[in-house]
Amino acid sequence: RILARSRMPPAELERRNANLVGGDINGGAQDIRQLFFRPTLRLYSTPAKNLYICSSSTPPGGGVHGMCGHHAARRIK
């Protein structure tokens, strides 16, 4: 069950995050260090029970529309 969703135009994305110049769907600058300096590998789950994250910042990343939601849905049992 989806509890909330939101959308923002490119100008609002850029205002909130300087990495998203022009509303970059790929999540801004990506760096190899981001693969290693992360708190933990959770993919789509969060510490909160039954809360999952789907965005261009989750695998398989921006530009592969819909796949993060597909993979998150598969993790729900």
For every residue of 36-76, DSSP letters joined together read TSSS---TTB-SSTT-B--STTSTT-TTSTTHHHHHHHHH-
**Predicted pLDDT of residue 41:** 64
DSSP secondary structure code for residue 35 in this structure? G
Q: What is the pLDDT of residues 7-50, one digit of tens each?
A: 888 788 788 877 677 656 676 666 777 666 665 566 778 888 88
Instruction: Look up tokens 């990506």; give the residue.
Output: 30
**Predicted pLDDT of residue 30:** 66
CA dist 18 and 28 (Å) reads: 8
Expressed as residue numbers, the domain containing 45 is 39-77
**Predicted pLDDT of residue 29:** 65
Asked if the structure places residue 70 within a domain, the reply is yes
What is the count of structural domains for the chain? 2
Q: Is 47 in the same domain as 32?
A: no
Q: What is the pLDDT of residues 54-77, one digit of tens each?
A: 877 777 777 777 888 888 888 786
